[in-house]
Structure 1
Amino acid sequence: MSRVLYLAEIGYKNAGDQVMWDIFQRHFRNNLASDRFRVAGRQAAGTALSAFDSVVLGGGSLVAPAYLAKLEEARQGNIPYYIWGSGVDKWVTRAGLDAMLNGSPLPAAFTAQAKDFKVADIFRNAHFAAVRGPLSQAFLQAAGVEAENIAVSGDPALLLTPQDAKFASDKLPLPGGGPYIGINWGTAMNQIFGKDEAFVEDELAAAAKRWIQQGYSILLFVMWPKDIPASRRLMNKIGDANRVRLLETVDPYEVMGIIGQCKFTVDLKLHAAVLSAVMRIPFIALGYRFKVFDFAASIDAIRYVISTDSPTLAQELLYAANHIQENYTQTVNSLDKQLTAYQKARMLAEPFFRRLKKEAGTN
């Protein structure tokens, strides 16, 4: 029996982390015989690698100290390891992101910590290494990872299709009639660009009130139980109870169903934007950290990201929404083109699991 470890931030009822773990397990079952291979999901903390024959760094922003330390442990212990669509996040400050978006070289200070964690060696010795987006790839190359040792796979959740959505009848009826704008709100514990979630919340409320005046109803949705208090607060700030509804499910497939009923969405959490893209629903992403820009860059959607430190956030939200409304078919077609390309390549699906089966089966 070959034992495979899937390392990721699972167990927190986070819809994004959960859906990527679901996807991994689904493809694992479909490609690797259950009498020969077994997979277990664990977080980095407290996990002993000695019980496993192979290690997969799963989806999420896991190119980070705790998880890289586990990959280095695997490297030192000659345990085969794989990087399955993970990405960079907190290592890249707003100044570093601006430099990358402007095409400027990253000063050495911005990549020093990544170099300290031996990312070049870790990626060189991985049996497979693909990251979420081109900005993660560019940052890691600036930190010394050679181009031939890192590919861009897209986020693992891009393997989903609209058919995976679940429309829960108990969440109906919806408020006030359509059309609907979905707003994903919550908290990142104020670890956002600008460090002012209260300001962002007020700007969202102002934009939502304007959309209601234009004839829309608002569907608030969350990706994590800890997002619910902030979303309730936003609902109260918007007011107009007949036109606003908060749906508190964190089931990722029900969230997809909610998104599917919207004209477009405004999303704080990364995987709210990912699921919107999967559903071919235009989105405006609140760029609260590097990872949001990284994903958007992977599907040519940077223009739909607004940084949370923008002093004119509400105005920019309204402008972006108008652009989507005026170019709706073109925007949907662009999303579909980008998603179709990833889903045809399926780098994280059959090609990856065939390789894992071949290599893990010989351990």
Structure 2
Amino acid sequence: MRQPKLPTLDALLHIPQLSVQNANAISGPHSWGHPGPTHFTGLMTALERKLGSDSGLHFAAVGIVSHGYQAQTNGDYVQRFNLTRNPVGKDGSTAAIVEEGRIHLQLSLLFGLKLDQQRAAASDEELNALAQQIGSTLATLRIAGGSVLPGRSALKPRLTRLAEGEDERARQFRLLRRYLMPGYALVARDDLLHAHHATLRAQAPDATLLDAWLDQSRINHFPVTDDNGDTAWQHSRQQGRGWIVPLPVGYGALSPLYEAGTVAGARDDSTPLRFVESLYTLGEWLSPHRLHDYRQLLWYPTHDADSGVYRCRNDYQAANQTEHHTLGVEA
């Protein structure tokens, strides 16, 4: 399969300082925390549909920058979700507790857009008014299941038409990057997963990608003895190795694509259906000042019909890397 590429973009839309209450903190069957990129590509699709075809916009990619978060958990070493019993039953009795993880977020989004002819010829004033309209529409939607609260930031949505030359586009991103700080941008680090897999295989030739991913998803403690015979305990998350996280990035097919209406109990009998499992890789939270190109920040959805892989991709890694591999974990 050829490596998919980010579609050609005409403009960037910056939505600053969104406050999201009670977003979904369980982003996959093997991880919890900040919502993964699939939540935001889903938001991107919902926003485009909400605006309608008359908007003249196609949302192709989205960048995620976190300014702060507050997981709704309690406990010291072992964290437990704050759970509620709601709603009450028909007889007024309390319902059983259904575990759901919630998190409050403060984030900024950067959408990559393709413009139709009319929007491409629009004036800066028209694009600015359109950006405010999109920001108001976004406030009516859910982000990863969470509610968007009225923002306190003085910053307003900005729609920037990308210049023709690469140097001028780089200058535009440098200016835009200032409004993304302080914060952390989410990028893909498939390269770290495969580098660690190679390290494990040097010690154990039968080590798999799953072993490498699990090893990078936890903190391993081990004893180290010096020349004097003194032993000290160290852990695998050393300083300077970055803020690495396990990251669900999409789904892989477990079944053929069934015709609409042929699977009993399906939620929608007008849409084809297939069963899938979660796909995982490694991600990293980086300060935006470490990014030098807007393409390093953006996530975009891809689909390969032959392999049945539905995956969000990010081009942070080197442009000459032609193959990205993803770990499949059963849901």
Whichever of the two has the greater Rg, that structure is 2
TM (norm. structure 2) is 0.25
Identify the structure with the greater strand proportion.
Answer: 2
TM (norm. structure 1) is 0.24
Identify the structure with the greater helix proportion.
Answer: 1
